[in-house]
Each structure stands twice: as C-alpha cells, then as structure tokens.
Amino acid sequence: MINRGDARLDAIFHALSDSTRRSILRGLTQKEKTVGQIARPYAMSLAAISKHLRILAEADFITREKRGSFQIVRLNPRPFKKAEEWLAFYERFWSQRLDDLQNLLEGKEHV
C-alpha cells in the first residue's frame, strides 16, 4: 500500500522527469508568468503546455491565479525541499560507501 508521502514524492519526481517541465520551472524562478508567456518558447500547442502545467500543479510546484482574462503562474519552491530531503538520505548512503571503497583501496581499515 502506498502512503500519502510516497504518492507525494511520486508526483514530485514525475513532474521533474520531463525536460519541458524542468525548463518551465527554471523560467518561473525569474518571475511569475502568464500561460502564454510560458508557452512562447516551446514548439507545442497550448493544450500540451496546459498538460505540463497540470502535472506541475498536481505536484504543487506551481500555483495559478486568474487575473482578468489571464492565468498567472507562480513557482512554489516547497516540493523541491521534499525532493532534496529524499535525495539527501541516498547521498549520505553513497558517500559512506564510496569512503569505504576508498579506504579499502588504500588499505585502510573501516572506522
């Protein structure tokens, strides 16, 4: 059974798995944008961009606000922290393993 935290991480990493979505997030670090501004650099339909935005919103990476006839998209940095926390465990795991390997290759005992 998948718990809520695992489902949250699945959504976060799914959103980050696509280069277009990562590029959209990168662009939103500068300032909030309209959907049209987000779509402009990409050779794809507004429907395709909307699908990417939906996935980013499901992972909580973006917030959307209606202003008149425009939809304003803003970056939400919180999911990056969740991904970082998950990756930090494996960074410590692999750092220790690599240190052990280095010690073995240098003929040192494991401390």
Domains of the chain: 4-105 (1.10.10.10)
Segment 46-56, tens digit of pLDDT: 999 999 999 99
Asked if residue 111 has pLDDT above 80, the reply is: no
Q: Is 52 exposed, middle or buried (0-12, 13-18, 19+ CB in 10 A)?
A: buried
Segment 2-21, tens digit of pLDDT: 566 688 899 999 999 999 99
- Supply 79's token pair: 């999911």
Supply the pLDDT for residue 97: 74
Are 4 and 60 spatial neighbours (Cβ–Cβ below 8 Å)? no
Asked if residue 1 has pLDDT above 60, the reply is: no
What is the phi-psi region of residue 83: left when phi exceeds 0, alpha when psi lies from -120 to 50, beta otherwise? Answer: alpha
Asked if residue 65 has pLDDT above 80, the reply is: yes
Supply the pLDDT for residue 5: 66
Segment 36-48, tens digit of pLDDT: 999 999 999 999 9
Mean pLDDT for 73-97 is 86
